[in-house]
Chains A and B, each alone.
Chain A
Amino acid sequence: MSGPAPEVKSVWRLIVLALGFFFLYMPIIVLIVYSFNDSQLVTVWSKFSLRWYKELFVGVQQQSEAIRSGVLLSLTIGFFSASFAVVLGTISAFVLTRFDSFRTKTLFSFLTTAPMVLPDVIIGLALMLLFVALENMTGGLYDWLNGMKVEEGTLWSGIHSALTYCASKIAGWPEKGAFTIWLAMVTLTSAYVSVVVRTRLQEMDNSIEEAAMDLGATPLKTFFVITIPSLFPAILSGWLLAFTISMDDVVITQFVSGPGAKTLPIVVFSSVRRGVSPTINALASIIVLVVSVCTFIVWYTMHRKDKKRQREYGMMSVRQKAEREKSDTPKA
């Protein structure tokens, strides 16, 4: 057969398409449908109701409250870990691409990406052990200082009491909770940011920064005025990636979270063990809605921009092209 492939109105095509969509979206549709289910049991349909949405927002059940605080905690941790990971990741990417090769460059490069390839279980375990060890050390320091016999009224006793006071403040640090989860998430996600930003940095034209320096901007100023704005798309996508990863991480968070800090995924997981409440369906439906709306907005604005650019270009072919040509000819 030659020429353009003729349009085959095959039933098979439609079936395959339908199956594809079915596999992708059926679970989500089921979840959304059952979020409007009145029944206490997730899998048995009784009648339409919004009671689980009400329960989610204003319910006094222990689980609803846990979910609400979990969402808040996850968002907070996601926001702060993504923000800090962006700073660390960008710096490491910059060092790895822009600095002359130094002795441990390959090692450093490997170490920054290691959290991406290491199993989460290992990272979680390692971080947990580290935090426990730190906790023991700070606690031990306080105990040691506290137990020391000191003569009253000397200079040393003054220093000692100051030291003991400081040690009492940090004793038991870092307590497992939101702070340790944040640390763990920064460790994990800065690796992703580093990779994303590094790719962009590598394809960026070096001479743009050189031009800025050539025109009198110091290296530091060049970094903030030229490099960062040029990297902005990569930094933004790195931030979003880091936010998403730390939002829904379960494994590492399990290891480093304390009794007080329950992120949303942990709440969901622990509630599954006791039987899923339809409140979670309601929450999931809301998340699906929010994500869809966000995606649509991003798609729509990009589409508009594209259209606009195309229009501009189209106009250029008639008016501006002539203008271009005219301005390319040397003036008498």
Chain B
Amino acid sequence: MLEHKDGQQKKEVKPPLLVIKNLSKSYIPGVLAVDDVNLTVNKGEIFALLGSSGCGKSTLLRMLAGFEKPTSGKIILDGQDLSNVPPYKRPVNMMFQSYALFPHMTVWNNIAFGLKQKHMPKDEIKENVEQMLALVHMEEFADRKPHQLSGGQRQRVALARSLATHPKLLLLDEPMGALDKKLRTKMQLELVDIIEKVGVTCIMVTHDQQEAMTMAERVAIMDCGEFLQVGDPEEIYENPNCRFTAEFIGSVNIFDGVLGENGSDFMYVECPALQNKIYIDAGAAIADGMKLSVAIRPEKITLSKEKPQQECNFEEGIVDNIAYMGDVSIYLIKLQSGQIVRTTLPNVDRFRKNQPTWDDKVFISWEPDSCIVLTI
């Protein structure tokens, strides 16, 4: 996650700007594309909607822009109910995935378009456009047509165009979707920089979790039109509230089991796939013998050649496969039960010196507080 310089302290004092109440949308009767969504976005916040394609995130964004009419529910922006306001009267601007720059207009005219619709005096338009061009470092390209620009430049023009009218809310639809991977990381940081400089509230839609975690202060995980979890990136990664979120964000090892012996500050989980019990140093307010899953992130599993000195939270297996990624190696360990466990090992030495190799007998172990207990 990007460290927002003034993030934590200021967050509490930010007043809410956008309130979404019980918002639903169905295209076909009986099928909800967006299902009873409630959300509050604070002023100046960058909020990301994250989900796989078809999860309803784009529909939600289009409802905010006004291109789709909600079936039920309310969208309240800064105290104004937007539900029946057409897109051209909303103080909301969108940056499209394809950028949607007007091909027959120069960069200058593209940026000035929104201001002209507001019937702003000419000299004010000029001043505003120049300010925007400076903001995105595109001054020398003002007379170019969109087809004469590179992908990154087009994106910056699109951003300048949507910021020129000073919207209350900025919507980003897959902002990096049209860029290649290397440029993406650069532009992510630059985009956040510009958005924070302007101070506009921003909602973005993406299917790329890395992008959401880099750019957004808060992330909502969407599936089948519903919000599964809303929180800051760290919370969502370290403390997912359901199996879908755990599996969607990053990679994870999941062991299905039943709750064994437990107390107020500890519990044991017995998993058929594991030989030893899992010990978790947190209590659970659930009944004995209940079915649950334990999720452990790969980087929190330690790989060793010697048997660890502990009674639980370790397992024996053989190296099934190794994926060399450069900075880390991903090890797939086959347990005796046949389940494959994924773990990572940083490549501290060159050429994986002293590291286990294929078909080696190894032990994996983890800390009690690395376990995430999931009941759904």
Contacts and interface: CB of A to CB of B under 8 A. Distances in A.
Interface of A: 205, 207-208, 210-219, 221, 226, 229-230, 312, 324, 327-331
A194 B137 CA distance: 43
Identify the 8 closest CB pairs spanning chains A and B, nearest first.
A216-B117, A215-B114, A211-B100, A207-B100, A328-B152, A330-B190, A207-B96, A324-B150
Given A213-B87, A215-B93, 8 more contacts: A212-B102, A214-B88, A216-B89, A216-B114, A230-B103, A327-B138, A327-B152, A328-B186
A217 B162 CA distance: 13
6 contacts: A211-B94, A214-B87, A216-B88, A230-B104, A328-B187, A330-B187
Interface of B: 65-67, 86-90, 92-94, 96-98, 100-104, 113-114, 117-118, 137-138, 141, 148, 150, 152-153, 161-162, 165, 183, 186-187, 189-190, 193
A324 B156 CA distance: 12
B88 A217 contact: yes
A219 B117 CA distance: 12
A215 B88 CA distance: 6
A308 to B, nearest CB: 12
Contacts of B148: 312
Contacts of A214: 65-66, 87-88, 90, 92-94, 162
Contacts of A229: 104
Contacts of B193: 330
B100 A210 contact: yes
B137 A218 contact: no
B102 A226 contact: yes
Contacts of B87: 210, 213-214
Interface residue SS majority, chain A? helix
B152 A210 contact: no
B186 A329 contact: yes
Contacts of A221: 117
Given A207-B98, A215-B161, A328 B117 contact: no
Q: Max chain A CB contacts within 10 Å: which of B65, B100, B137?
A: B100
A215 B183 contact: no
B137 A331 contact: yes
A211 B96 contact: yes
Contact of B88 (A213, A230, A312, A330): A213
Contacts of A324: 150, 152-153
Contacts of B89: 216
Contacts of A213: 67, 86-88
Given A210-B67, A214-B88, A216-B118, A330 B96 contact: no
A221 B67 CA distance: 17
B153 A328 contact: yes
Contacts of B90: 214
A212 B152 CA distance: 21
Contacts of B93: 214-215
A330 to B, nearest CB: 4
Nearest to A330: B190
B290 to A, nearest CB: 49
Contact of B113 (A205, A212, A218, A230): A212
A221 to B, nearest CB: 8
A322 to B, nearest CB: 12
A211 to B, nearest CB: 4
Nearest to A206: B100
A28 B216 CA distance: 70
Contacts of B138: 327
A188 B103 CA distance: 32
Given A230-B103, A328-B152, A330-B189, A215 B96 contact: no
Nearest to B90: A214
A207 B173 CA distance: 11
A218 B96 CA distance: 18
Contacts of A331: 137, 190
Given A216-B118, A327-B137, A208 B102 contact: yes
A205 B88 contact: no
A306 B150 CA distance: 19
Contacts of A312: 148
A156 B94 CA distance: 63
A34 to B, nearest CB: 48
Contacts of B66: 214
A215 B165 contact: yes
Contacts of B67: 210, 213
B305 to A, nearest CB: 44
A205 B113 CA distance: 18
B150 A328 contact: yes
B297 to A, nearest CB: 30
Contact of B117 (A208, A217, A327): A217
B109 to A, nearest CB: 11
Nearest to B173: A207
B185 to A, nearest CB: 10
Q: Max chain B CB contacts within 10 Å: which of A208, A214, A229?
A: A214
Contacts of B98: 205, 207
A216 B165 contact: yes
A327 B190 CA distance: 12
Contacts of A218: 88
B183 A328 contact: yes
A226 B103 CA distance: 9
B319 to A, nearest CB: 41
A174 to B, nearest CB: 40
B129 to A, nearest CB: 13
A215 B100 contact: no
A330 B90 CA distance: 31
